[in-house]
């Protein structure tokens, strides 16, 4: 098989630069400066001008090499591409280095208690005060908000126009008196996301990404990047280390976060990692004799088939892109495919593991390992995490119902749901309670 020249170049660079004894900060400084942390970005802005699919290949190759990948979290994945597309050169100089080198962590301040699927119905207000904006409202589901230095904020800056036309997009500093972040504990035992209260928080106008009241177009760039990173053929390869000043990872040893060379770590959190659960479940079923159960073998085959279809779909999309076609629907279909895989793993995993699947360690690290050893099932923590986290991927980045609506309207040509909210001004629309 011909060797990919991009991966050859990357591996040469990694041979010369990867050192597990660097701190995370030192390593990300090298990776970010070289263009390999965000290779799909333009060469003049910390990237290498590669296609998204080539960039996915780069992320996987960094991981396979045994080096720590690009900063995880929402900076490289969402904030960076949004600023690359809509930011001014000053904003690119201000924000992109911190994103690509992981020195500043980002969160996404989009969803609100009354605005999730109907994101354009958001009620957080932004009012102009000279060179600044004063922001008041509540956000929810804010992943890694407790570790973030900056937030991608959507605020309503004009309630007198239809809802999509009065929203602006800001990069707001999270550490300020007007912002309170309260973690929400999930049933996995972790607190991945938060509710965020903004009470007269301030953001300078020079941190407004895109035009005043033009934030919906900017938000769509963020959402498109979110969807394309979430499907069953999603990117994978993001580092386990968290960027930014608050998570405390920057000063730790880079090698402690890297996968062993040649390994593919299975993760329960969806994306490409979910495919990695298949061999783990097969091994467990072989070891404990459950493979003798014909219905287990049948469902393992079903899982294998869904994974393969997802892989083929990704290949088809990559092929279409390579010849200059835009495969419009890959985001929605890939995300729906991932939901099916996640649900099957949720049901099949406990059947293979047996009653021990009721044992979940709510503490990370040694406690998880000790529980798995006591139960004599090494896959136990991954399976219980997959079960308890299973609802999440079917909701975030647009729920399954919303993805089906998109497929219904854009592929099947079904009529849109009747509504008058594209014409009426936002202030005249019926709403849930306002804070």
Could you list the residues that contact ligand FAD (CB under 6 A)?
Answer: 107-108, 110-111, 116-117, 141-143, 192-193, 392, 395-396, 398-399, 401-402, 405
- The residues near 368 (Cβ < 8 Å, ≥ 6 apart) are 361, 381
Nearest one of 335, 285, 287, 347 to 310, comparing CA atoms:
335
Displacement of CA 121 from its chain's centroid (Å): 23
For residue 319, the minimal CB distance to ligand FAD (Å) is 30
C-beta of 107 vs 306, nearer to ligand FAD: 107
What values do phi and psi take at 408, rounded to 5?
-60, -45
Task: Indicate which residue of 226, 308, 385, 409 is catalytic.
Answer: 226
Beta bridge partners of 370: none
Q: Which is nearer to ligand FAD, 269 or 327 (CB)?
A: 269
Q: What are phi and psi of 348, to 5 degrees?
A: -80, -40
Nearest distance in Å: CB 164, ligand FAD: 15
226 a catalytic residue: yes
Name the helix (H) or strand (E) containing 109.
strand 106-109
Biggest alpha carbon distance in the chain? 72
Taking 3-state DSSP, the helix, strand and coil percentages for the chain, each rounded to the nearest 5, stand at: 50, 15, 35
Residue whose beta carbon is closest to ligand FAD: 116
Residue 65 or 170: the one with the smaller Cβ distance to ligand FAD is: 170
Minimum separation from the CB atom of position 244 to ligand FAD (A): 14
What tokens does 50 get? Answer: 């590669």
Please tell me the distance from the alpha carbon of residue 113 to that of residue 143, in angstroms, as a whole number. Answer: 15
Give the shortest CB-347-to-ligand FAD separation in angstroms.
19
Question: What would the two tokens of residue 282 be?
Answer: 């097969």
Q: Least separation, in Å, of the C-beta of 101 and ligand FAD?
A: 22
Q: 35 or 126, CB closer to ligand FAD?
A: 126
Which is closer to ligand FAD, CB of 140 or CB of 352?
140
HEC-encoded secondary structure of 132-201: EEEEEEEECCCCCHHHCCEEEEEEECCCCCEHHHCEEEEEEECCCCCEEEEEECCCCCCCCEEEEEEEEE
Q: 3-class DSSP state for residue 425?
A: strand
d(CA 204, CA 214): 17
**In the bound complex, what is the minimum distance in angstroms from residue 412's beta carbon to ligand FAD?**
15
Among residues 64 and 407, whose Cβ is nearest to ligand FAD?
A: 407
> Where in the sequence numbering do the catalytic residues fall?
226
């Amino acid at each position: 098989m011909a060797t990919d020249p991009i991966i050859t170049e990357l591996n040469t660079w990694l041979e010369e630069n990867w050192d597990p004894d660097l701190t995370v900060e030192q390593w990300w400084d090298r990776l970010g400066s070289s263009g390999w942390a965000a290779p799909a970005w333009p060469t003049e802005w910390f990237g290498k001008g590669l296609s998204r699919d080539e960039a996915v290949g780069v992320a996987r190759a960094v991981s396979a090499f045994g080096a720590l990948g690009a900063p995880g979290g929402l900076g490289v994945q969402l904030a960076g591409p949004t600023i690359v597309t809509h930011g001014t050169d000053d904003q690119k100089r201000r924000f992109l280095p911190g994103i690509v080198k992981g020195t500043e962590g980002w969160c996404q301040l989009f969803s609100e208690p009354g605005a999730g699927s109907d994101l354009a119905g958001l009620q957080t207000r932004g009012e102009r005060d000279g060179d600044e904006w004063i922001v008041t409202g509540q956000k929810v589901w804010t992943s890694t908000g407790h570790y973030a230095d900056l937030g991608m904020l959507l605020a309503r800056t004009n309630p007198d126009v239809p809802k999509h036309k009065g929203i602006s997009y800001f990069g707001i500093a999270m550490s300020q008196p007007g912002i309170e972040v309260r973690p929400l504990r999930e049933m996995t035992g972790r607190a991945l996301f938060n509710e965020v209260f903004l009470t007269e928080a301030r953001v300078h106008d020079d941190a407004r990404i895109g035009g005043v009241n033009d934030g919906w177009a900017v938000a769509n760039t963020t959402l498109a990047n979110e969807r394309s990173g979430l499907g069953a053929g999603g990117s994978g390869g993001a580092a386990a280390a968290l960027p930014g000043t608050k998570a405390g990872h920057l000063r730790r040893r880079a090698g402690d976060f890297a996968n062993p060379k040649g390994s593919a770590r299975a993760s329960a959190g969806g994306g490409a990692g979910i495919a990695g659960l298949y061999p783990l479940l097969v091994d467990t079923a072989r070891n404990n004799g459950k493979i003798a159960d014909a219905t287990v073998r049948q469902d393992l085959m079903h899982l294998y088939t869904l994974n393969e279809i997802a892989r083929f779909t990704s290949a088809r999309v990559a092929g279409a892109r390579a010849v200059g076609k835009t495969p419009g629907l890959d985001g929605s279909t890939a995300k729906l495919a991932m939901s099916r895989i996640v649900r099957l793993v949720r049901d099949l995993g406990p059947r293979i593991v047996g009653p021990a699947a009721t044992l979940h360690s709510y503490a990370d690290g040694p406690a998880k390992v000790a529980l798995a050893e006591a139960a004599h099932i090494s896959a136990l923590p991954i399976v219980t995490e997959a079960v308890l986290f299973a609802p999440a991927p079917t909701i975030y980045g647009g729920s399954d119902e919303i993805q089906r609506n998109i497929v219904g309207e854009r592929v099947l040509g079904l009529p849109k749901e009747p509504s008058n909210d594209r014409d009426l001004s936002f202030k005249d629309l019926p709403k849930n309670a306002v804070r």
